[in-house]
């Protein structure tokens, strides 16, 4: 029966992937119904994960409505324009920082057009900084103090091994993901230089300039006019309220981290906290949203119309559908899975990262993957191995179907960021695999020191 159930799960995911967007979550519901018809008891719905996502994304949407996101993109664009030769390193790092701070990978979409224009202005193929930035936006979620994936998994860790917990998890994933993306950038740049694919080809330059008003290709195929216009436009929208909204969000983030440190078993300053960590994050984020609306001249209806809120709504439904489907399948077959994988993972624990990459590429969500598989993982491997492998829940680079992947391909008007004719021959697969190997390896070293 496990194989029949697995086929049902894969068919449901395939239907969702083909329909795209929020339909991935809808298809998860189809899968749960189909499994129920086969006699499988539905697993727990990921409501705890979704509530955290809702609080963080809604507050981020309030900051966007106040102009805070435009302010951050303006600062980022200005930095990238001043240091264009370091674009391949700076672009993924600032993307990583934005996602770590905001707790949602969707915030990275605002940076991709800026990154593309800076790359073209220096004759660099946009595919390199774009693919690295897209991968950084995926892995940054596992390093964000307020992301649903981190908050959920740290709660599971608290029950299994309190000595690691929230602080040990972040102490591993923050440096591991940051060093991982920087090291990956260095490796990919070296490969590009050897292959001679770092700069734009004549065909790519002509494709980029095809939309010129004159209809003629520019002699060098380059222009920073679009970037200058975009930065000027963003700069004109930066207000005191926009800056204030960013400060409110950042201060809230600092307070959340401080509180988490104070109540952690490792520090033990507050032994019996009134607010558990999850509740503290949710309430603090909602309070920050209220402060932004009250003190940054934000109309509440504007929050509902932001791109962050709309994409967040899609994320909730997708997480509900696919995480529920995944949890239902794993819970129903836990004994069989443990018996099949237990010996393999005992002799080669690094294979857990491979399993998580494959699963996440199908489940479309770090939080959904964590909810479905990390409790099971902790029954198969040590907490240290699970923490080191945790970044692999962001393996969306494997299939060219994730919104960030599709979005960067659409934004790159030179055609250098590609999805090939075959499933795996796309621009993200090589840097994604390299980044994951480095990140998990660094995480393994760090958690051995921390634990």
What are the residues whose beta carbons fall under 8 Å from the beta carbon of 3, sequence distance 6 or more?
A: none
Q: How many CB atoms lie within 10 A of CB 155?
A: 15
In order of 82, 186, 369, 435, the CA distances from 89 in angstroms are 13, 8, 28, 13
Name which of 42-46, 215-219, 350-354 the model is least confident about: 215-219
Alpha helices in 238-333 (DSSP H): 240-263, 277-295, 300-304, 307-332
List beta partners, residue 426.
419
216 burial (CB, 10 Å; 0-12 / 13-18 / 19+) is exposed
- Between CA 59 and CA 97 the distance in angstroms is 17
Q: What is the pLDDT of residues 359-379, one digit of tens each?
A: 888 888 888 888 888 988 888
CA 99 from chain centre, in angstroms, equals 7
- Between CA 275 and CA 435 the distance in angstroms is 37
Whether residue 187 is predicted with pLDDT greater than 90 in this model: the reply is yes
pLDDT at residue 233 in the model: 67
- Between CA 394 and CA 229 the distance in angstroms is 34
Positive or negative, the CA dihedral 227, 229, 234, 239 is positive
Q: Are 257 and 264 in contact (CB under 8 A)?
A: no
- Region 327-349: mean pLDDT is 83
- Between CA 72 and CA 439 the distance in angstroms is 27
Per-residue pLDDT band at 297 (split at 50, 70, 90): confident
- Region 246-268: mean pLDDT is 88
pLDDT at residue 107 in the model: 78
- Region 59-68: mean pLDDT is 91
- Between CA 188 and CA 288 the distance in angstroms is 39
Angle at CA of residue 219, ends 213 and 223, nearest 5°: 60
Q: What is the pLDDT of residues 192-248, one digit of tens each?
A: 888 887 776 655 555 555 544 333 333 333 345 666 666 776 677 778 999 999 999
Q: Are 374 and 334 in contact (CB under 8 A)?
A: no
Nearest to 363 by CA among 334, 394, 338: 394
What are the residues whose beta carbons fall under 8 Å from the beta carbon of 342, sequence distance 6 or more?
A: 380
Q: What is the pLDDT of residues 263-286, one digit of tens each?
A: 887 777 887 888 888 899 999 999
- Between CA 83 and CA 90 the distance in angstroms is 8
Q: Are 258 and 273 in contact (CB under 8 A)?
A: no
pLDDT at residue 220 in the model: 36
Alpha helices in 161-239 (DSSP H): 165-195, 202-208, 225-237
- Between CA 155 and CA 383 the distance in angstroms is 12
What are the residues whose beta carbons fall under 8 Å from the beta carbon of 248, sequence distance 6 or more?
A: 63, 288, 291, 292, 295, 296
Q: How many CB atoms lie within 10 A of CB 86?
A: 13
- Between CA 385 and CA 373 the distance in angstroms is 14
Q: What is the pLDDT of residues 104-125, one digit of tens each?
A: 887 788 788 888 888 887 778 8
Between the CA atoms of 400, 405, 128 and 145, what dihedral angle is there, to the nearest 10 degrees? Answer: -120
How far apart, in Å, do the first and last CA atoms of the chain sit?
A: 40
pLDDT at residue 211 in the model: 46
pLDDT at residue 384 in the model: 92
């Amino acid at each position: 029966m496990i194989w029949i159930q697995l086929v049902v799960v894969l068919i449901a995911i395939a239907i969702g992937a083909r329909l795209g967007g929020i339909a991935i979550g809808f298809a998860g519901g189809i899968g749960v119904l189909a499994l129920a018809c086969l006699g499988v008891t539905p697993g727990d719905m990921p409501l705890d994960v979704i509530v955290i996502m809702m609080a963080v994304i809604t507050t981020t949407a309030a900051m966007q409505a106040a102009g805070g996101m435009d302010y951050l993109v303006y600062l980022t664009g200005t930095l990238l324009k001043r240091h264009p030769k370091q674009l391949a390193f700076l672009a993924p790092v600032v993307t990583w920082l934005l996602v770590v701070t905001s707790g949602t990978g969707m915030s990275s979409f605002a940076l991709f057009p800026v990154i593309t224009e800076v790359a073209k202005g220096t004759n660099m193929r946009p595919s390199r900084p774009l693919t690295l930035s897209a991968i950084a936006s995926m892995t940054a979620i596992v390093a964000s103090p307020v992301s649903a994936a981190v908050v959920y998994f740290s709660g599971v860790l608290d029950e299994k091994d309190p000595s690691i917990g929230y602080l040990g998890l972040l102490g591993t994933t923050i440096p591991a993901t940051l060093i991982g993306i920087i090291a990956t950038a260095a490796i990919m740049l070296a490969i590009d230089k050897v292959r001679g694919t770092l700069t734009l080809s004549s065909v790519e330059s002509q494709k980029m300039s095809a939309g010129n008003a004159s209809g003629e290709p520019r002699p060098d195929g380059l222009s920073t006019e679009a970037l200058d216009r975009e930065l000027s436009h963003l700069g004109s929208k930066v207000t005191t309220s926009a800056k204030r909204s960013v400060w409110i969000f950042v201060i809230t983030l600092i307070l959340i981290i401080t509180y988490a440190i104070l109540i952690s078993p490792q520090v033990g300053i507050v032994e019996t906290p009134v607010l558990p960590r999850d509740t503290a994050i949710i309430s603090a984020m909602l309070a920050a949203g209220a402060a932004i609306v009250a003190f940054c001249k934000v109309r509440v209806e504007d929050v509902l119309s932001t791109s962050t809120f709309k994409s967040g709504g899609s994320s909730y439904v997708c997480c509900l559908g696919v995480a529920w489907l995944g949890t239902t399948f794993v819970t129903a077959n836990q004994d069989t899975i443990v018996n099949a994988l237990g010996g393999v993972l005992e002799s080669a624990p690094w294979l857990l990262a491979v399993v998580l990459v494959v699963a996440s590429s199908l489940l479309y969500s770090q939080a959904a993957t964590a909810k479905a598989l990390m409790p099971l993982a902790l029954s198969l491997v040590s907490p240290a191995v699970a923490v080191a492998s945790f970044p692999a829940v962001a393996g969306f680079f494997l299939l060219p179907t994730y919104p960030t992947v599709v979005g960067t391909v659409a934004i790159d008007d030179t055609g250098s960021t590609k999805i090939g004719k075959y499933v795996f021959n796309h621009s993200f697969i090589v840097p994604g695999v390299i980044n994951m190997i480095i990140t998990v390896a660094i995480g393994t070293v760090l958690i051995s020191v921390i634990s």
